[in-house]
Amino acid sequence: DTSYAVHTKSIRETYAERLGVLVEKLRAPMGRVTILERCGGLHVTILFNEAIDDKAVCRGAADRGQAVTALSRFYHEPARAPRGIVLGFGSLPERIIETMVCRLAEVVGEVRELGRIVAPAA
């Protein structure tokens, strides 16, 4: 059915645009991070280029009504996992991306300032 193909193309374009806006907005305020852009999917992985407690970032984000997941949660040995967070953007309206990124950057900054730093993964 051509209407399904048109719908699918439209959805792909919408999410690609949303991903582009999200990555653009994440770059400056997050500081020392690496953003892993994937082809496909509705998540972005943000790696901290320092040993920040990703679980503390998740708790701080949750306190602000944001859902992010600690990257260490996806590892069999969380202590050896790279530090970072996974951010879903599928249900995130483009109009609030900038506000959400600013709040998330504040959380990361607070975690850095409070010294909630963990030993680097071995």
Mean pLDDT, range 94-116, rounded to an integer: 88
Contacts of 43 (CB under 8 A, 6+ apart): 86, 87, 88, 89, 90
Higher pLDDT, 38 or 65: 65
pLDDT at 40: 67
Q: In what order do the strands lie in the sheet with 33-36?
A: 33-36, 43-48, 84-88, 69-70
Mean pLDDT along residues 68-86:
91
Over residues 107-117, the mean pLDDT reads 80
Mean pLDDT of all residues in 74-90: 89
Q: Is the pLDDT of residue 51 over 90?
A: no
Dist. CA 8–CA 17, nearest whole Å = 14
Label residue 117 by pLDDT band (50, 70, 90): very low
pLDDT tier at 39, thresholds 50, 70, 90? low
At residue 59, the pLDDT reads 94
- Taking 3-state DSSP, the helix, strand and coil percentages for the chain, each rounded to the nearest 5, stand at 50, 15, 35
CB 29 within 8 A of CB 102: yes
